[in-house]
Structure 1
Amino acid sequence: MKNKRIAALAALVLVSAAASAHPQTGGAHTHGFFDGFVHPFTGLDHLLAMLSVGIWSARQSSARWLPATFLGMLLFGVLTGVAGLTIPGLETGIALTVALMGVLIAVAARLPAAMGAVMVGAFALLHGNAHGHELPAAASAMGLLAASALLVYGGRVLGQVSPALALKISGAAIAATGVMLAATV
């Protein structure tokens, strides 16, 4: 079991290392299912945020619905982006969601259920809005939701099987990455 945990964490590190935040410039995105599916894996900010929501939710009491809340609000956020709603400071806000989720994991914070849902929903709204601007087609939105579900629920599994110390260290690394991303926006 310990080797499986190490392998899972190593895989996440390798995937994260290969990712870079928004690698395409100038609107070079296409808009199919595959493009939407791949997108969360190619942006470090989105990858870490979605994994973090899952990891953190696994350590919350009575919070099995937090991943579903994130996914529902992610879809709502996509719709706001497609509709043209612009959120000031969006990229900085997204980076800060990564930092805050990392801190919550690092300190093993437990929040009241309603507060956790509002926070996770707000984070998903930001991420979804960015995706709605970048990938406005319905097919890409479905791909995005499928990949996001894999990442959030995969993070939840990691949160359930990983030792507390490994999670705290990972949370600190995620928080530091979020701060770095915010500083480079």
Structure 2
Amino acid sequence: MKKTITAIALAAASGAAFAHTGAGAHSHGFLAGFAHPFTGLDHLLAMLAVGAWSVRQPNAKWLPATFIGMLLIGMATGAAGLTVPGLETGIALTVALMGVLLAAAARLPAAVSAVMISAFAILHGNAHGHELPQAISAVGLLAASLLLVYGGNLLGRVSPALAVKASGAAIAATGIVLAATA
């Protein structure tokens, strides 16, 4: 068990480091935008977790679409130069919290879920907007994000509840490691 947790921690730390190398460090095009969410463990896990968690929320089938819409708004704020203090730590904490929610099979009121998911998406979008400010990059990033969020949604639907909870625990642990190294 210790070896597994150590491996996850090391993978998480290295993925986060490669995902956020600063503005201007990435090529700007559709493929750069599309690849970006897959190269950062924090973004990958958060988007999959949002999709999987939203399946079990009452009256909230629109949560994945809300996340994507608010991701776009967050990207616009980042591209416009708005800097969110503690952004990397905030992103890591969104991963941890989504993991906890999955692991606990937590059900929240629809309005609370929408506000929380929106805040998470704005943080992730803001980081992406700083790194990939061109519109064509944003289109690629949104396409990949759609795949990840709705892929997570599908996994949440077809996976046994215990597997979803175990995945949530692993995601929470990864988020804690990311927050500690941010």
Normalising by structure 1, report the TM-score: 0.88
Of 55, 62, 65, the residue aligned with 1:65 is 62
Determine the C-alpha separation between the residues in 1 that align with 2:61 and 2:25: 37
Q: Which runs of 5+ in 2 are unaligned?
A: 1-7
Determine the C-alpha separation between the residues in 1 that align with 2:25 and 2:102: 34
Q: Secondary structure at the match of 1:64?
A: coil
- State the 1:61 CA deviation: 1.6
- State the 1:84 CA deviation: 0.6
Match of 1:78 in 2: 75
For this pair of structures, how many residues does the alignment match?
A: 170
1:134-180: CA deviation from partner (whole Å, max 9, x where unpaired): 00000000000000000000000000010011111100000000000
Percent identity (aligned): 75
Match of 1:164 in 2: 161
Match of 1:53 in 2: 50
| 1:87 equivalenced with 2:95 (yes/no) | no
1:67-119: CA deviation from partner (whole Å, max 9, x where unpaired): 00000000000000011100000000000000000000000000000000000
Determine the C-alpha separation between the residues in 1 that align with 2:66 and 2:58: 15
* Structure 1 stretches of at least 4 aligned residues deviating more than 3 Å after TM superposition: 24-27
Q: Which runs of 5+ in 1 are unaligned?
A: 1-12
Alignment of 1:8-47 (within 5 A): 20-23=15-18, 25=21, 27-47=24-44
Amino acid at match of 1:36: G
- State the 1:21 CA deviation: 1.7
